[in-house]
């Protein structure tokens, strides 16, 4: 890794520098040679003849040629960091190398990429999470996140058949913001999260999902499974699977997806969502001979205090298409990066009755409005990767899909 991130990356197809850039470089070269000439002439004016022991040694620049500047900078940088351990170590990228932060894909980051590639770039390079609902301010977003997470954890605890006090404790421990924070408009608070979990407990006690058992993997319940798909060119797709259940008689696999909604739950919101399709990749790891499965969206409406269930069947073909779309996204990012242009989809600058947070900065130079890539950031990414227990390679997935398609006679 070795080029300033703010320096435009080299296009995938080798391109020649524009005349303006060449002109600028020529001027810089001219000024360097002028200063060097003047220095030499001043030496010659005082010493007309050079005795052998005064012949100048070749400089490091002469020996190393064009690489000398970079090598000297690297050595100086290392010495500076060693002398000042508190300084932040900035990682230099190779020419044409994509910042690894831009290679981390998830369901929500892909949504941002599709809405506005420039926003995706700025989010990723600033180490931000995608906004759950851009209409909400930060505090409300924290409540939204805490609510969704706490209800999800509580529901998983119910499915694991934990006793009531443990379910309450799990829900409490997963509440990630101030206990008294609340969003009155959407009826989201810790108390309402607990109420939702207790509603779910009543449903289960009354026979909801009684034909299914929670799947166990290596003695652990298949809940909140963290998985990643390693993709070509260093890209990776990551996700979490809420819970996997198995029908007691038929062995049919049911993926439970817990959602909360502040408005009425609508089938079209979830029917073709790529999120559930991404789950199939980990299911292949968990369950042998899986061809199709059902995703059951269990949506809690905060305004009606009711759960709505929406089952959708997913086929082998849909999974194959999802994988193809995933690869297309990685190609798109590489293309944008090769031009050093992430398109600005201006039609989405005003979304959900709110201006994009980059409305006044996205036209500025990327190096000015983003954080540099640091050694610390890379280490954090490596550490975060350890959470994803189930890792699948894209090529293996494709081979499995083709084998299944052939055995089942399905066209993929």
Question: Considering CB under 6 A, how many residues would be counted as binding ligand SF4?
Answer: 12
CA atoms of 314 and 311, how far apart (whole Å): 10
Task: Tell me the pairing of strands 223-230 and 236-247.
Answer: antiparallel
* Chosen residue from 81, 168, 349, 381 binding ligand SF4 by CB under 6 A: 349
CA angle 294, 297, 303 (to 5 degrees): 165
**Residue 135 touching ligand SF4 (CB under 6 A):** no
Query: Any residues with CB less than 8 A from the CB of 218 and at least 6 apart, and which?
Result: none
Report the residue number, 118 or 285, with the smaller CB distance to ligand SF4.
118
Neighbours of 390 (CB within 10 A): 17
- Residue among 262, 271, 222, 264 at smallest CA distance from 242: 222
Name the segment binding ligand SF4 (CB under 6 A); options: 87-95, 100-108, 191-199, 339-347.
Answer: 339-347
Largest Cα–Cα separation, the chain: 104
Q: Nearest distance from residue 8's CB to ligand SF4, in Å? A: 18
* Chosen residue from 102, 125, 225, 362 binding ligand SF4 by CB under 6 A: 362
Report the residue number, 311 or 367, with the smaller CB distance to ligand SF4.
367
**Residue 358 touching ligand SF4 (CB under 6 A):** yes
**Residue 346 touching ligand SF4 (CB under 6 A):** yes
* Chosen residue from 344, 369, 378, 381 binding ligand SF4 by CB under 6 A: 344
Q: Nearest distance from residue 121's CB to ligand SF4, in Å? A: 8
3-state secondary structure at position 395: helix
Report the residue number, 186 or 366, with the smaller CB distance to ligand SF4.
366
Report the Cα–Cα distance between both ends of the chain, in Å, rounded: 39
CA atoms of 327 and 378, how far apart (whole Å): 23
Neighbours of 216 (CB within 10 A): 12
**Residue 364 touching ligand SF4 (CB under 6 A):** no
3-state secondary structure at position 359: coil
Report the residue number, 123 or 394, with the smaller CB distance to ligand SF4.
123
Name the token pair of 27. Answer: 């001027």
| CB contact burial 69-88 (16+ within 10 A = b; e otherwise) | eeeeeeeeeeeeeeeeeeee
Name the token pair of 321. Answer: 């298409």
3-state secondary structure at position 345: coil
Report the residue number, 28 or 359, with the smaller CB distance to ligand SF4.
359
Identify whether the C-beta of residue 386 lies closer than 8 Å to the C-beta of residue 226. Answer: no
Name the segment binding ligand SF4 (CB under 6 A); options: 31-39, 66-74, 165-173, 342-350.
Answer: 342-350
Q: Nearest distance from residue 354's CB to ligand SF4, in Å? A: 11
Strand-pair partners of 51: none
Q: Nearest distance from residue 39's CB to ligand SF4, in Å? A: 48
**Residue 403 touching ligand SF4 (CB under 6 A):** no
Give one word for 411, left, alpha or beta, with left for phi > 0 and alpha for psi -120 to 50. Answer: beta
Report the residue number, 91 or 369, with the smaller CB distance to ligand SF4.
369
- Binding marks (x or -) toward ligand SF4, 90..119, rule CB under 6 A? --------------------------x-xx
Report the residue number, 305 or 352, with the smaller CB distance to ligand SF4.
352
**Residue 348 touching ligand SF4 (CB under 6 A):** yes
Q: Nearest distance from residue 116's CB to ligand SF4, in Å? A: 3
Q: Return the DSSP state at 234.
A: G
Report the residue number, 344 or 381, with the smaller CB distance to ligand SF4.
344
Applying CB under 6 A, which residues contact ligand SF4? 116, 118-119, 344-346, 348-349, 356, 358-359, 362
């Amino acid at each position: 890794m070795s080029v300033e991130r703010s320096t435009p990356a080299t296009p995938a197809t080798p391109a020649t520098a524009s005349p303006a850039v060449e002109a600028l470089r020529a001027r810089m070269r001219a000024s360097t040679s002028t200063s060097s000439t003047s220095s030499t002439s001043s030496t010659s004016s005082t010493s007309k003849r050079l005795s052998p022991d005064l012949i100048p040694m070749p400089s490091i620049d002469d020996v190393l040629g064009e690489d000398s500047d970079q090598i000297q900078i690297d050595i100086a940088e290392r010495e500076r960091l060693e002398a000042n351990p508190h300084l932040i170590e900035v990682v230099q990228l190779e020419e044409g190398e994509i910042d690894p932060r831009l290679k981390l894909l998830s369901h929500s980051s892909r949504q941002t990429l599709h809405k506005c590639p420039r926003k995706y770039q700025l989010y990723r390079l600033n180490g931000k999470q995608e906004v759950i609902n851009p209409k909400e301010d930060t505090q409300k977003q924290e409540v939204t996140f805490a609510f969704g997470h706490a209800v999800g954890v509580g529901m998983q605890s119910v499915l694991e058949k934990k006793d009531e006090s443990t379910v309450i404790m799990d829900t409490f421990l997963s509440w990630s913001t101030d206990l008294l924070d609340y969003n009155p408009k959407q009826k989201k608070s810790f108390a309402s999260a607990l109420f939702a979990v207790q509603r779910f407990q009543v449903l289960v006690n009354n026979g909801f999902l009684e034909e299914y058992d929670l799947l166990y993997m290596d003695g652990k319940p298949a809940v909140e499974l963290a998985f990643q798909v390693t993709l070509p060119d260093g890209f990776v797709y990551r996700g979490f699977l809420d819970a996997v259940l198995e029908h007691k008689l038929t062995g049919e696999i049911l993926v439970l997806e817990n959602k909360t909604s502040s408005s009425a739950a609508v089938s079209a919101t979830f029917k073709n969502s790529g999120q559930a399709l991404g789950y199939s990749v980990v299911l292949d790891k968990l369950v042998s001979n899986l061809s199709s499965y059902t995703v059951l969206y269990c949506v809690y409406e905060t305004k009606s205090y009711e759960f709505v269930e929406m089952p959708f069947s997913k086929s082998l073909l849909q999974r194959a298409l999802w994988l193809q779309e995933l690869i297309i996204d990685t190609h798109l990012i590489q293309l944008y990066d090769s031009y050093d242009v992430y398109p600005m989809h201006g039609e989405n600058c005003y979304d959900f009755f709110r201006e994009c947070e980059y409305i006044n900065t996205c036209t500025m130079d990327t190096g000015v409005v983003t954080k540099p890539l640091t050694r610390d950031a890379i280490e954090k990414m490596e550490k975060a990767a350890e959470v994803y227990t189930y890792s699948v390679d894209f090529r293996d997935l494709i081979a499995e899909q083709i084998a299944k398609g052939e055995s089942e006679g399905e066209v993929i």
